[in-house]
Amino acid sequence: MERKPFAITLDPGSSLANHTGNWRTMRPVYRDHLPPCNHACPAGENVQGWLYYAEEGDYERAWRVLTNDNPFPAIHGRVCYHPCETACNRGQLDEAVGIHAVERFLGDYAIQQGWRIEPGPPSGKKVLIVGAGPSGLSAAFHLARFGHAVTIYEAGPKPGGMMRFGIPRYRLPREVLDAEVARVEAMGVTIHLNRRVEDLEADIKNGGFHATFLAIGAHLSKRVEIPGRDVGRILDALSFLKSVETGEPPKIGRRVAIYGGGNTAIDAARTAKRLGAEEAVIVYRRDREHMPAHDFEVEEALEEGVLTKWLRTIRQIDEGGTLTVEVMELDKQGYPRPTGRFETLEADSVILALGQEVDTRFLRKVPGIEISDDGVIQVDETMMTGRTGIFAGGDMVPAERTVTVATGHGKKAARHIDAYLRGVRYVKPPGNPLATFDRLNTWYYTDAPHIHQPYLDRVRRQTTFDEVVLGLDESTALLEARRCLSCGMCFECDNCYGMCPDNAIIKLGPGKKYRIDYDYCKGCGICAEECPCGAIEMEKEIR
Amino acid sequence: MHYQRVKYYQTGTFTVGNRLLDESNRTVQARMDRTNSLNSGHRACQGCGEALGARYAIDAAMRAVDNQLVAVNATGCLEVFSSPYPESAWQIPWLHSLFGNAPAVASGVAAALRAKGKDHIRVVGQGGDGATVDIGFGCLSGMFERNDDVLYICYDNEAYMNTGVQRSGSTPPRAWTNTTPAVGPSPGNPMGVGKNVPRIAMAHGIPYVATASVADLHDLEAKVFKAMGIHGARYIHIHVPCPLGWKSDPAHTIKVARMAIESGLFPLFEAEYGRVTDRTSIRRKVPVERYLELQGRFAHLFGDPPDTEAIRAIQAIADANIDMYGLLSEEGQRGT
């Protein structure tokens, strides 16, 4: 036995014998929270998840996480109204992260790099999709990844639906659209163009399809009765935009009035301007504040010289192009009401942009499919219509009509169709609690100003269909991605590991995060307090 | 001296680690192989700023000198909670003698190592403000004036906490302690008492003096590295909140220390041979109330009515620091 010094009777020991964890009344736990961007995304994108890899400059991995949910980042980075950015917590700090700009960069970069996505192992099941718009193509993509054989019947001459015939090319260049559609086709999805479905049941039977997804959109323009002798001068916005796309734009004259206040009205006005109209005037019965069109699009239109007449309704169209408009006023609820005062307005043509309806004629003879009074198809929570095995989504079902909502419907329907084909039910995994701004410790984020995308110069915007908003490059996309606060999701900043006075947090290595050593954690709560993104919660200790 | 402040990289150098930065821009504390010089199982209170500050400083010193380090500890919280017989939380050569003699013992250890031809082994002396500012002050001054090759680190929690919160020469004006109760016409520690040991250390003309805080780890580690790169007497004074004695929430230890920096009450600076050479600027200036209101020891200032005169006097101290050290200058900006 070793001789001990004077008056020492015990062997030296380590403090590790002293389990200070038993002091604890509160225990820290790592808990993921749902970032508000993810929560707001109609396509169900894991925005924080793909930004995480973009922050590292690992663009391929970012793109692959992104396309797990949405096959069309180059399209959405341009045309989505990005509710993610409205929800972004950074908006409360300085400005929201330019999520759409990074998404667009990833989409364009993927096209440039030629990245592809492989279909799943063949399931032996066949699915018919009616309509090659965002909803149908999104469903096709996800169903192909599940291994199902997908055939799309498309009534139009080219795929894309509203993305091609509704959204002008200055917002969505056609080579971008074509490239992202081609990637879905390369997964083995067959698209039959100019193939209108008249007899759905016969098509399903003849094709031997095990399930069907309807995604025909809403392509009929709503009309309004305006007394007028010169009806030849009246166009509907969708036909107008479509004719421009097919290369046969109608003569619209020098002065064009666009009637309506939605995004389609804005698109029609900006297109008219580009076709050479000296005056493109939007006539809308309410004011700018109450327009359904998105404010940034109104702003862009005004920049291009589009004129507006708020609080006006068209009452009559006379020969020679004189419009009689009535001045409206808004009541307390924001509804317009007539004032009895009238004005005149000169216009060589009038474009009606008053909304769209679904062409449900071919569905009326299909038993079980329920069509509501306002002409949309009723579906249950699995996107299935009243007819077993026939699902529907996009603009033809009750929902907000945007490309992103349609794309989200495609994914959701694909999951339920896949479950249906396998004879099970898809159950959405339970979500995490929302990562609200008050969970963040914003001290730790660097001040980083939002990087604005450049715009095409004004003259070219008024005379060409060149893309108006330009993209970020590799370095600016990186900086913008790094503005992400990673709300509610651990990004391994090591604050908990570094700031624990008791070394009670064990770092497991890059990508593996941390583990709490409850033998020594005293429950002081510094880790939770100093976690920048709010991914640690303090819970009552139960012994 | 400043470590490279990094912009844009999400959290830049504000967090302990950052996967987006080069290894060289991350802290020792972010490393999986850090020494954990002060190990788990020590008996410091929940949220102890001193335990944290000691691990920060000694882990950095260990890395700076390739683990060739001996620490000499004065009596105080740090010594008591880390070494109850027969356990030790220290994973480095560590010795303790008395409350008042740690700087002298450290000088002796350095002399002994030199005599044995082992002067590659470096010496750190450490203690709380009681041992440094009051009880061991004579020994410390001697260590300084002889320019002994020791880095002495003071973990300043602004009172004698181990013995039950009695005031020290470092207790701030108006703070409650058990010997400066919050009663009478001017409650708490009187105005105009106490001493500023970093300035006194500078007056010895020693090679290096710095202040640091547990709320700015990159800054603290950079200073320890710099100190270990110099021979002779060096002094680092680290601000370490004490939830027990300051009556603050244990979870707020870093936050309280941060507010001390951001209000200007605890200026971060460096000095060489008696002259201030650099300072760490305030990032987001706050009024002193943001610091004071987090601590129960100042609760009597926020009664009904609040003691606006005392708060104004404390603000004047912060403003004087800001002015004296140029804490609002762009230079030395703590990242942007």
Q: Give the pLDDT confidence score for residue B296 in this predicted structure.
A: 98
Which residues on B lie below 8 Å from A538 (Cβ)? 251
Are both A475 and A382 inside the same structural domain? no
Q: Give the pLDDT confidence score for residue A27 in this predicted structure.
A: 97
Q: Which element (helix H / strand E) includes A219?
A: none
Interface contact A482-B8, CB threshold 8 A? yes
Give me the residues of A, 490-509, that contact B with CB < 8 A: 491-495, 497-504, 507, 509
Report DSSP letters for B127-189, one per residue: EEHIIIIIITHHHHHHHHHTT-S-EEEEEE-SSBTTTT-B--TTPPTT--BTTB-S-SSS-SS
Q: Give the pLDDT confidence score for residue B3 in this predicted structure.
A: 62
Q: Give the pLDDT confidence score for residue A398 in this predicted structure.
A: 94
**Could you list the residue range(s) of the whole structural domain that residue A465 is in?**
36-115+440-481
Q: Give the pLDDT confidence score for residue B172 in this predicted structure.
A: 98
For B67-126, what is each residue's pLDDT tens digit? 999 999 999 999 999 999 999 999 999 999 999 999 999 999 999 999 999 999 999 999
Domain count, chain A: 4
Residue B336 counted as domain residue:
no
Among candidates B15, B45, B87 on the partner chain, residue whose Cβ is nearest the Cβ of A493: B15
d(CA B250, CA A170): 57
* Residue A374 belongs to domain with CATH number: 3.50.50.60
Give me the residues of A, 10-29, that contact B with CB < 8 A: 10-20, 23
Are both A181 and A268 inside the same structural domain? no
d(CA A97, CA A99): 5
- Report yes or no: A522 at the B interface, CB cutoff 8 Å: yes
Better pLDDT: A449 or B144: B144
Average pLDDT of the residues of chain A: 95
* Residue A55 belongs to domain with CATH number: 1.10.1060.10
Which residues on A lie below 8 Å from B51 (Cβ)? 501-502
Are both A45 and A102 inside the same structural domain? yes
Q: Which of B4, B5, B15 to mutate to test the interface with A (most CBs of A within 10 A)?
A: B15
Residue A527 counted as domain residue:
yes
Which residues on A lie below 8 Å from B89 (Cβ)? 14-15
Determine what percent of chain A is predicted with pLDDT higher than 70.
Answer: 99
For A383-399, what is each residue's pLDDT tens digit? 999 999 999 999 999 99
With cut-offs at 50, 70 and 90, classify the pLDDT of residue B22: confident
Under 8 Å CB pairs connecting chains A and B tally to 165
Better pLDDT: A334 or B247: B247
* Cβ A250 vs Cβ A243: under 8 Å: yes
Q: Give the pLDDT confidence score for residue A26 in this predicted structure.
A: 97
For B251-294, what is each residue's pLDDT tens digit? 999 999 999 999 999 999 999 999 999 999 999 999 999 999 99
Last residue of a domain, one of A309, A336, A354: A354
**Could you list the residue range(s) of the whole structural domain that residue B105 is in?**
23-325
DSSP three-state, residue B229 = coil
Residue B5 has pLDDT above 80, yes or no: no
Looking at residue B291, what DSSP letter applies? H
Q: Give the pLDDT confidence score for residue B6 in this predicted structure.
A: 67
Altogether, the residues listed in chain A come to a count of 543
Interface contact B250-A524, CB threshold 8 A? yes
Are both A109 and A142 inside the same structural domain? no
Q: What is the mean pLDDT of residues B132-154?
A: 98
Q: Give the pLDDT confidence score for residue A5 in this predicted structure.
A: 86
| Alpha-carbon distance B258 to nearest alpha carbon in chain A (angstroms) | 10
Q: Give the pLDDT confidence score for residue B89 in this predicted structure.
A: 98
Chain B residue at shortest CA distance from A23: B46
Q: What is the mean pLDDT of residues A82-86?
A: 97
- Report yes or no: A157 at the B interface, CB cutoff 8 Å: no
Are both A348 and A368 inside the same structural domain? no
Are both A171 and A247 inside the same structural domain? no
Residue A433 counted as domain residue:
no
Q: What is the mean pLDDT of residues B226-240?
A: 98
Residue B83 counted as domain residue:
yes
d(CA A271, CA A273): 5
Q: What is the mean pLDDT of residues A406-429?
A: 97
For A126-166, what is each residue's pLDDT tens digit? 999 999 999 999 999 999 999 999 999 999 999 999 999 99
Residue A188 counted as domain residue:
yes
pTM above 0.95, yes or no: no
Q: What is the mean pLDDT of residues A358-379?
A: 92
Interface contact A502-B87, CB threshold 8 A? no
For A526-538, what is each residue's pLDDT tens digit? 999 999 999 999 9
Give me the residues of A, 450-479, that contact B with CB < 8 A: 479
* Residue A514 belongs to domain with CATH number: 3.30.70.20
Residue B52 counted as domain residue:
yes
- Residue of A443, A58, A448 whose CA lies nearest to B9: A448
* Cβ A120 vs Cβ A145: under 8 Å: yes
d(CA A241, CA A234): 14
Give me the residues of A, 56-75, that contact B with CB < 8 A: 56
Residue A44 has pLDDT above 50, yes or no: yes
For A309-323, what is each residue's pLDDT tens digit? 999 999 988 877 888
Residue B16 counted as domain residue:
no
Interface contact B254-A530, CB threshold 8 A? yes
d(CA A51, CA B268): 35
Q: What is the mean pLDDT of residues B131-148?
A: 98
Domain count, chain B: 1
| Alpha-carbon distance B138 to nearest alpha carbon in chain A (angstroms) | 31
| Alpha-carbon distance A96 to nearest alpha carbon in chain B (angstroms) | 14
d(CA A529, CA A165): 52
* Residue B213 belongs to domain with CATH number: 3.40.50.970
Last residue of a domain, one of A329, A354, A379: A354
Q: Give the pLDDT confidence score for residue B1 in this predicted structure.
A: 43
DSSP three-state, residue A190 = strand
Q: Give the pLDDT confidence score for residue B335 in this predicted structure.
A: 42
Q: Give the pLDDT confidence score for residue B8 in this predicted structure.
A: 67
- Report yes or no: B309 at the A interface, CB cutoff 8 Å: no
Residue B298 has pLDDT above 50, yes or no: yes
- Report yes or no: A114 at the B interface, CB cutoff 8 Å: no
For A181-239, what is each residue's pLDDT tens digit? 999 999 999 999 999 999 999 999 999 999 999 999 999 988 888 887 665 688 999 99
Residue B8 counted as domain residue:
no
State phi, psi for B293 to the nearest 5 degrees: -70, -15
- Report yes or no: A55 at the B interface, CB cutoff 8 Å: yes
Residue B18 counted as domain residue:
no
Q: Give the pLDDT confidence score for residue B336 in this predicted structure.
A: 36
Residue A1 counted as domain residue:
no
Interface contact A502-B40, CB threshold 8 A? yes
Are both A293 and A214 inside the same structural domain? no
Residue A251 counted as domain residue:
yes
- Report yes or no: B15 at the A interface, CB cutoff 8 Å: yes
Max CA separation in chain A (angstroms):
118
User: Look-up: residue for tokens 């009637």?
Assistant: A259
Residue B10 counted as domain residue:
no
Residue B4 has pLDDT above 70, yes or no: no
Which residues on A lie below 8 Å from B88 (Cβ)? 12-15
Beta bridge partners of A279: A255
Give me the residues of B, 215-274, that contact A with CB < 8 A: 217, 243, 249-255, 258
Are both A346 and A368 inside the same structural domain? no
| Secondary structure percentages of chain A, helix, strand, coil, to 5 | 35, 20, 50
Q: Give the pLDDT confidence score for residue A374 in this predicted structure.
A: 86
Residue B330 counted as domain residue:
no
CA angle, corner A498, sides to A492 and A500, nearest 5? 115
State phi, psi for A281 to the nearest 5 degrees: -115, 125
Interface contact B258-A525, CB threshold 8 A? no
Residue A334 has pLDDT above 90, yes or no: no
